[in-house]
Structure 1
Amino acid sequence: MGGAQEVAPLLLNKLLVAGERVGRIVETEAYAGAEDPASHAHRGPTARNSSMFATAGTLYTYLSYGIHTCANVVTGPEGVGGAVLLRALEPILGLESMWSDRPGVVRERDLANGPGKLCRAMGIALADDGTDLCDPHSRVRICTDGTPPPGDPARTPRIGISRATSRRWRFVVPGSSHASRPERSGGGNR
């Protein structure tokens, strides 16, 4: 599949499907393995991050701050940690279920504009960890409707980390109002 830094921009505009809910991925972040101190794979496999060392295309979920489920697409060959965090998506189908699972949200663009919000809106839970995202029969999967990734995605430093903060491994569909921080999505590889 390739390294997390190569895969992250290629996931933009792909569809994330979870049951009847569908959203277009508009923001991702790459997390490499041992060479990335911000990555869960930095210190090797543990019970918590074992799915991050699975085959490329596996779903790796974890709890952030003990509260928010986050979803990642594993990118490396089996035994090599690396994944792409799905940071935000544009809701397409199943909006009634998304609204139901995100009470208090007023604007559609706020339904899934952050990693925890994305999982809540899509109904993705820790129990989905280890799912084969490439299997068309999986409840949670990634597919395409033919929309290509942007030719020049916005590229910024990753958000909410304290190590390796200068790496520009956050990728955003330019102009997307559904990104977690649209005001920082800018354009191109500045």
Structure 2
Amino acid sequence: MGSGKTSVLMQLARYLIEISHGNKNEKKVVIIENEIGTAGIDNLLLENADFTVKNLFAGCACCTSSAKLTDTVDYLSKEYSPEWIIIEATGLAFPSKIKSAVETELGMQAMTIIVVDAKRWFRLLGAMENFVSEQLKDTKSVLVNKIDLVGETTVEKVQESIRKYNRDAYCYPVSATNELSAGFWDDLFEKAGILNGTRTP
């Protein structure tokens, strides 16, 4: 939470729209936002950017709401026939479990992108190491965000720390307050093994 997921998501959505040769009104990209609580906050930012958002409330997508999540993905897939579905999970979710549910229950290919806060990384790791290590499980893409707030040495140490928990992950130092280029996303998707067709990041 607070790692900059929504800023990254908005840039990712724009990129996917561009490579789909469409626009927002064609609904080629669907965003599902998972919130803990009874009211969305980040969705206001997305809606102000002209994206349509489907919220999931009352629990984490990977545990108490797992059935609801797959039902929502299935419904939106049939209703809008999107080329891409993006799930922005709460910071308390386990992305590998979401990915597994989408792939095994719906037969869709999926990938995970983890966003971490470079400035708060070691503090969070010290407080909940087992939880953080589980979140990093199986992902191929980790965005080390907010590098503008820390020094180069800290960024390197964060990446080294991440690789202790997932040595196969590609780490991308970024500042989501700046525009991430199409080339950046091309490289990320290629390394994640996602090249074409309908995908669920």
Q: TM-score, normalised by structure 1?
A: 0.28
Query: More helix per residue: 1 or 2?
Result: 2
Structure showing greater Rg: 2
Q: TM-score, normalised by structure 2?
A: 0.27
Query: More strand per residue: 1 or 2?
Result: 1
Q: Which has the higher contact order (CA 8 A, sep 6+)?
A: 1
